Amino acid sequence: MWLPETAVDLETLDLMAEQGIRYTILAPSQAKTLNGEDVSGDRIDPARAYFIKLSSGRVMNLFF
């Protein structure tokens, strides 16, 4: 699922994961940290997949 730039937050990602959606595509500007890793600015590598552990224990795969 590709979310609009203003539509992503942790709650939305968790709801998507709950519904069985396994990944989403985001713009690099939509991320600041992932699992404690600073990915702000130009630190995101668009050649690799990322994942985020959500508070519910679910995981969402992220592509930039």
Please state the φ and ψ torsions of residue 6, each to the nearest 5 degrees: -95, 5
Which helix H or strand E contains 15, and what residues bound it?
helix 10-18
What is the pTM assigned to this prediction? Answer: 0.81
pLDDT interval class at 4 (50, 70, 90) = confident
Domain boundaries, the chain: 10-55
Three-state secondary structure call for residue 17? helix
CB 60 within 8 A of CB 51: yes
pLDDT single digits (tens) 17-54: 999 999 999 888 888 888 888 888 788 888 989 999 99
CB 62 within 8 A of CB 50: yes
Cα separation values, 44 from 16, 18, 27, 34, Å: 22, 26, 10, 10
